[in-house]
Amino acid sequence: MNIFLTSNCGGIRKENGEKKAEKFSNENNFLEMLKESLRENKKFVLVSSNPEAIEQNSKYLELDVIALNMSGIFFDEYAVLDNRNKDNVKEILKDSSLIMLCGGNTYRQNQFFNEIDLKKYILTLDTTIVGISAGSINAASIAYNSPECEEDTLNPELLSGLGLTNINIEPHFDVNNNNKMQMDSILSQSYKRVIYGLPDGSYIKNNTLYGEGYKIHNGEIKLICNNDEKYKICD
């Protein structure tokens, strides 16, 4: 199994308020690494972060299919996993060559993952999995969900994740983040676990960080890798 933890890997962009497909990013060789990790091209599965939004999820799948094709990646079958087929998780994931865990609301996505018992099924697969933002957070055994606003503080910070990795990431990381509530939470949590700050364009494949990245531990933020470099995570 190959696990990619990303913040934003391209594929969909917003233009004049409308979402459009684009080629997946090759910043820090992401796209090339993704292609190399694919053993087969049987099925692509997009796992939603907002399972009730059936129409929206279908649109995201449509855009991802275009983006994958623009990137030179083609599959025999494409599927989205949300409320329309949540009772058939095992069948949806069967023969998947690439699973993408959507970005979105981390807590709502986590609830959905636990509701459908996704961990039970996904851990049995030998495939490539790409987490995007919230999807990367929830890939961890214990997912850390930093609060971005007061409403987020109503949800627990620590969640039961998928167990695909023991690495906790903070996506869209900005070392100059002026959201005091969020940064205070991240620094406080860093005394209990190591958190890796990933700016957009950086990613972790299995246990190696590619591109700009920060290690947040014991209340300190340290730059450990620059763009076009890699860093082996040993935690």
Q: Which pLDDT score is estimated for 187?
A: 96
Total structural domains within the chain: 1
d(CA 84, CA 230) in angstroms, rounded, equals 40
Q: Using one digit for the tens of pLDDT, what is the confidence trace for 122-176? A: 999 999 999 999 999 999 999 999 988 888 888 899 999 999 999 999 999 999 9
> What integer is the mean pLDDT of 63-90?
97
Residue 235 has pLDDT above 70, yes or no: no
Contact 134, 163 (CB under 8 A): no
Q: What is the mean pLDDT of the chain?
A: 95
Q: Which pLDDT score is estimated for 55?
A: 96
> What integer is the mean pLDDT of 213-224?
97
CATH at residue 159: 3.40.50.880
DSSP 48: P
Contact 77, 42 (CB under 8 A): yes
User: Which of 46, 42, 45 is CA-nearest to residue 76?
Assistant: 42
Q: How confident is the model at residue 61 (pLDDT cuts 50, 70, 90)?
A: very high
Q: Using one digit for the tens of pLDDT, what is the confidence trace for 163-202? A: 999 999 999 999 998 899 999 999 999 999 999 999 999 9
* Helix ranges, 21-88 (H): 30-37, 54-70
Contact 63, 11 (CB under 8 A): yes
User: Which of 7, 10, 28, 34 is CA-nearest to residue 20?
Assistant: 10
Report DSSP letters for 148-210, one per residue: SSGGGGGS-SEEE---SBS-EEEET--TT---HHHHHHHHHHTTTS-EEEE-TT-EEETTEEE
Q: Using one digit for the tens of pLDDT, what is the confidence trace for 99-122? A: 999 999 999 999 999 999 999 999
d(CA 207, CA 41) in angstroms, rounded, equals 24
Q: Which pLDDT score is estimated for 152?
A: 83
Domain containing 184: what range?
A: 2-232
What's the residue count for the chain?
Answer: 235
